[in-house]
A and B are shown apart, each in its own frame.
Chain A
Amino acid sequence: MTSTIEQAGGSPAPSADPPDRPPGAPPGREPRSVRWRRALRGQRTLLLLAVPGIAYFLVFHYAALFGNVIAFKDFVPFQGLWESPWVGLDNFQRMFEDAAFWQAAWNTLSIAVLQLVFFFPLPLALALLLHSLARGGVRKIIQSVVYLPHFLSWVIVVALFQQLLGPTGMFGGNVAFVTDVLTNPDAFKPLMVVQIIWKDCGWGTIIFLAALSQVNQDLYESAALDGAGPRRRFWHVTLPAIRPIVILLLIMRLGDILTVGFEQILLQRDAVGPEAGEVLDTFVYYQGVLGADWGYSAAAGLFKGVVGALLVYSANKIAHRLGEQGVYK
């Protein structure tokens, strides 16, 4: 089980891999280039196969990553990346003094925390429910239904919610409580969470259902023979079996905590205004692309990226401290 979880989040788990020095490649003193040429002999096809994908990552990730230098520049598009003047940390300083930035950061964090509390546990609960009750064909049908919303775009989901809760919607037009729920700034954050629950709760069960189906049934039997009731079996067999996955997902969510549904919020921000509806991603978009304040919004984006990477790193460290596998080693 441990080795299966290890790489579930896409970890290379380098230490677990066998040393992959090709047979016959001496560890000796030859120059690097000769060693590489020898090592790559007969691997030309593999190299060629890797080229398109690697080119993609170099251009659209690494070159783009490098483009973050504009966060330290007063970027003027017609002057270009190289000619625009350096401004040091001015953009960051301005950002930290900008109330709109802190408002966006606050909105982002509060939506993320609401998601963590109200959305994160739900797929696990639903998976346990499905696992304990539904069987055969009915279970497949229910799974098909609950997976479906994941495949609908945010545009569609927002349209569905408007058709239900909007002023001319099924409930919006009739139930007093929901009349202004789509345009009420106070309702915005809970609404975002409800929408993501509707869209992704069912899909989230898929990984838990897989983990539940891999639990060794003998463990349940031995526990039952030892006198453990359903509750204790759940506590001592089921939970330990799915704990690594829960922790893995939690780490990934923590690292992503500054990302809360960009498309979802972009679609609905204008209905409540930036005070309630701005998050860091939409802040970057409105400041940078629409406001043409390039360097400034790149600084906000870079800040978000650095914090996110630090969060993944520390969450993973903590997981290791607690004796868990984490995302990577």
Chain B
Amino acid sequence: MSNRNTLLDKALGPREHRPSWMEKPHPLTQAGKAVALVVICALILVPILVVVSTSLASPAEVTANGGWVLFPTEPTLQAYQDILSGGTITRSLAVSVGITVVGTAVSLFGTITLAYALSREHFSLRKPLLLMVLFTFLFPPGMLPGYLVVKGLGLLDSYWALILPVAINVFNLVIMRGFFQGLPQELYDAARIDGAGELTVLLRIVLPLSKAVIAVIGLFYAVGYWNSFFSAILYLNDSSKWPLQAVLQTVVTKGANLGGNTTDALSDSGAVAAPQTYQMATVVVAVIPILIIYPFIQKYFTKGVLTGAIKS
């Protein structure tokens, strides 16, 4: 009995101590709640599993099963080899990676510098600038005027059109600023006494202490760049320049119309036999980078985002 308990505790983590005043929960209620949580997790994971499985199944099996597979009998990476051997998907994947890396760097730079300036209490322009920034949250400019600005700057058909218009997110900026403000004031005072300038304080003291929030905000930006498809459709007339999500969007919308037939986007990768397999492989390729980074950043969520969002 005790042995079982320790095993369970090892698996689940230490049992939370129930204070003496708290009633013993009814086992049926507990069981009902547990079932609910399992069902919720299944609702999230099963669709993802179906997509991964279908992408790994052989075209014949997918066709025989009517378009989807839950557990492939003979898993194969053929679909991945095909879509990654050059052609539209490979090219758009490279575009996506480039935009995500450059965009995240640009966004973090702009967000950190402005958040830092707006977090320093003795900065005389702090209040007017902050109001100016927050007002944009209340009244976003709208799609068409935004398009006209991009056009006016000559950024149409340039990759910068996918980065610059969304470079700084007000919400992320506020979180970052809140985090900077939450750092102990003594650090700043000590640095000033040592004669350090603002730049030194930012680079040597603030940034090393802000790794968690930078990681989380960086993830938000990276996911945003990786996932966006509309700005590509809006600003890049030349569809051969499109990032992965924009290409995948043609698969999703046209695939729906064609009832699962092959699409223009995939045709030059030689996908004809079982488009479903290729579509799902493309979906998985678009998801995998997120799945890879996600666990590393996830542990920071509570630390970084919340201290910033709630406390500030």
Please judge, given known A-B contacts A146-B41, A221-B21, A225-B21, whether A309 and B138 are in contact too, CB under 8 Å.
yes
Please tell me which one of the listed residues B36, B301, B306 contacts residue A147 in the complex, with CB atoms under 8 A apart. Answer: B301
Q: Nearest-CB distance from B123 to chain A (Å)?
A: 5
- B residues within 8 A CB of A239? none
Please judge, given known A-B contacts A49-B117, A67-B149, A198-B44, whether A134 and B230 are in contact too, CB under 8 Å.
no
Contact between chains at A229 and B23 (CB < 8 Å): yes
B208 at the binding interface (Cβ < 8 Å): no
Contact between chains at B138 and A137 (CB < 8 Å): no
- B residues within 8 A CB of A220? 21-22
CA gap between A87 and B51 in the complex, in Å: 52
Q: Mark A143-187, 1 if CB is under 8 A from B, else 0.
A: 011111101111110111111101111100110000000110000
A206 at the binding interface (Cβ < 8 Å): yes
- A residues within 8 A CB of B276? 168
- A residues within 8 A CB of B6? none
Contact between chains at B143 and A285 (CB < 8 Å): yes
A301 at the binding interface (Cβ < 8 Å): yes
Please tell me which one of the listed residues A36, A70, A136, A153 contacts residue B13 in the complex, with CB atoms under 8 A apart. Answer: A136
Q: Mark B34-77, 1 if CB is under 8 A from A, else 0.
A: 10110011011101101100100000000000111010000000
Which residues of A in the span 298-314 have a Cβ within 8 Å of any Cβ on B?
Answer: 298, 301-302, 304-305, 308-309, 312
Please tell me which one of the listed residues A65, A270, A298 contacts residue B253 in the complex, with CB atoms under 8 A apart. Answer: A270
CA gap between A181 and B249 in the complex, in Å: 20
- A residues within 8 A CB of B15? 135-136
Contact between chains at B253 and A267 (CB < 8 Å): yes
- B residues within 8 A CB of A266? 230
Which residues of B in the span 100-158 have a Cβ within 8 Å of any Cβ on A?
Answer: 109-111, 113-118, 120-127, 129-134, 136-149, 152-153
- B residues within 8 A CB of A20? 121-124, 126-127
B78-86, B87-95, B183-191, B196-204 - interface stretch: B196-204
Please tell me which one of the listed residues B40, B114, B294 contacts residue A151 in the complex, with CB atoms under 8 A apart. Answer: B294
B205 at the binding interface (Cβ < 8 Å): no
B2 at the binding interface (Cβ < 8 Å): no
B312 at the binding interface (Cβ < 8 Å): yes
Contact between chains at A52 and B23 (CB < 8 Å): no
CA gap between A166 and B185 in the complex, in Å: 57
CA gap between A135 and B143 in the complex, in Å: 45
B211 at the binding interface (Cβ < 8 Å): no
Interface size on A (CB < 8 Å)? 118
A214 at the binding interface (Cβ < 8 Å): yes
Please tell me which one of the listed residues B48, B146, B249 contacts residue A155 in the complex, with CB atoms under 8 A apart. Answer: B249
B165 at the binding interface (Cβ < 8 Å): yes
CA gap between A129 and B36 in the complex, in Å: 9
Q: Nearest-CB distance from B196 to chain A (Å)?
A: 11
Please judge, given known A-B contacts A20-B124, A57-B132, A68-B142, whether A271 and B67 are in contact too, CB under 8 Å.
no
**Chain B residue nearest to A145 in the complex (CB):** B41
Please tell me which one of the listed residues B16, B280, B310 contacts residue A4 in the complex, with CB atoms under 8 A apart. Answer: B310
Contact between chains at A12 and B134 (CB < 8 Å): yes
Contact between chains at A182 and B298 (CB < 8 Å): no
Please judge, given known A-B contacts A43-B124, A168-B67, whether A206 and B306 are in contact too, CB under 8 Å.
yes
Please judge, given known A-B contacts A64-B145, A163-B54, whether A39 and B124 are in contact too, CB under 8 Å.
yes
- B residues within 8 A CB of A126? 40
Contact size range, B = 35 or more
- B residues within 8 A CB of A135? 12-16
Q: Mark B5-19, 1 if CB is under 8 A from A, else 0.
A: 000000111111001
A14 at the binding interface (Cβ < 8 Å): yes
A72 at the binding interface (Cβ < 8 Å): no
A284 at the binding interface (Cβ < 8 Å): yes
Give the one of A4, A65, A214, A262 with max B CB within 10 A.
A65
CA gap between A250 and B79 in the complex, in Å: 45
Contact between chains at B51 and A60 (CB < 8 Å): no
A81 at the binding interface (Cβ < 8 Å): yes
- A residues within 8 A CB of B257? 270-271
Please judge, given known A-B contacts A168-B276, A224-B22, whether A52 and B109 are in contact too, CB under 8 Å.
yes
Which residues of A in the span 89-148 have a Cβ within 8 Å of any Cβ on B?
Answer: 126, 129-130, 132-139, 142, 144-148
A204 at the binding interface (Cβ < 8 Å): no
- B residues within 8 A CB of A12? 127, 130-131, 134
Contact between chains at A152 and B287 (CB < 8 Å): yes
Contact between chains at B249 and A7 (CB < 8 Å): no
Please judge, given known A-B contacts A14-B127, A56-B168, whether A47 and B245 are in contact too, CB under 8 Å.
no
Please judge, given known A-B contacts A50-B129, A53-B114, A210-B302, whether A22 and B43 are in contact too, CB under 8 Å.
no
Of all A-B residue pairs in the complex, the 3 with the closest CB atoms, nearest first, are: A136-B13, A168-B67, A53-B114
> Can you list 16 residue pairs at the A/B interface with Cβ under 8 Å?
A22-B124, A60-B167, A61-B136, A65-B145, A134-B37, A142-B40, A144-B295, A155-B249, A159-B279, A168-B66, A198-B44, A206-B305, A214-B310, A288-B147, A298-B144, A305-B141
